[in-house]
Amino acid sequence: MKISIGNDHAGPDYKKAIVEMLQEKGHQVINHGTDSSESVDYPDFGHPVAIDVENKTAHFGVVICGSGNGINMTVNKHQGIRSALCWTKEIAALARQHNDANIISIPARFTSVPQAVEMVETFLNTNFEGGRHANRVNKIACQ
Catalytic residue numbers read 65, 98
Query: Which of 100, 69, 98 minimizes the C-alpha distance to 82?
Result: 100
φ, ψ at 17 (rounded to 5°): -65, -40
Q: CB atoms < 10 A from the CB of 20, how many?
A: 12
CA dihedral 54, 60, 65, 66 (to 10 degrees): 130
Asked if 62 contacts 106 with a C-beta cutoff of 8 angstroms, the reply is yes
8 A C-beta contact, residue 81 and residue 102: yes
Among residues 48, 31, 60, the alpha carbon closest in space to that of 123 is found at 60
